[in-house]
Amino acid sequence: MIRPLLIIRPEPGNASTAARAKAFELDTRSMPLFAVRPIAWVPPDADPYVGVLFTSANAVRTAGPELTRYFHLPAFAVGGTTARLARDAGFTSVVEGESDVARLIGKIATLGLHRLLHFCGTDVRSFDPFGIVIDRCIVYASDAIEPSEEFATLLAENPVIMVHSPRAAARLAELIESDARTHIALAVISKNAAEAAGQGPERPLACLGEGVLQQTHDKSGRGKTMGIRKTSQIAA
């Protein structure tokens, strides 16, 4: 029996991830547990900065027209989707990093850059700045929302849940009682997300930055199990 894939990230990322999953013929369900909203912000003077940092695509989506003040600066973006949105917004120099912000900051440090403006949300995971001065500019919030009654039905289907952040993992731990977690598997974005999920869920099947779940087939051609595919296309 094929285990359904449950996507809990907020829109519009939820819909794009679901579309990629369906392209791989995965049995896909969507249940956003967060809603993203822009926050009014006062643009800092661009002069002190030698670059801007985006650790989430939501920051690019929600920053608004004031972002044009910084188009002359190089943009450093975590992940392919964030980098693409930064280019589409108008940044002409975009450096794409891997899904781990720590690796991207390490790369920036080797360039000798001394001060960055970090566009981010209200919930930001701390990371080693490698000696770089990083000023945060909060442009959005991702608010937890109550799942619909369908959530319990989806959990009863023994799903594999895609977890794109430690906060989402912690939210799952709040919503799912420990004795109900043993039949749920996770595909997580990072080790931090896996740890935030707490005790109970099956051992994570994959890190989204390294692989995603793919349906495999038996000799009859019918779907049988979930396997791992070495690609990050679905997770983006």
Domain boundaries, the chain: 5-33+148-229, 41-142
CATH topology identical between 5-33+148-229 and 41-142: yes
DSSP string, 85-145: HHHHHT-S-EEEE-S-HHHHHHHHHHTT--EEEEEEES-------TT-EEEEEEEEEEEE-
pLDDT in tens, the chain (236 residues): 678 999 999 999 899 899 989 998 899 999 999 999 999 999 999 999 999 999 999 999 999 999 999 999 999 999 899 999 999 999 999 999 876 788 899 989 999 899 999 999 999 888 889 999 999 999 999 999 999 999 999 998 889 999 888 889 889 889 988 777 777 888 887 777 778 877 544 444 444 443 344 433 333 333 333 443 433 445 55
φ/ψ (deg, to 5) at 159: -80, 165
User: Nearest Cα to 165, choosing from 218, 124, 200, 129?
Assistant: 124
User: Nearest Cα to 168, choosing from 138, 200, 145, 137?
Assistant: 145
pTM summary value: 0.78
CATH fold of 5-33+148-229? Rossmann fold (3.40.50)
CATH number corresponding to 41-142: 3.40.50.10090
Query: How many residues comprise the chain?
Result: 236
The Cβ of residue 191 has, within 10 Å, a number of other Cβ atoms equal to 12
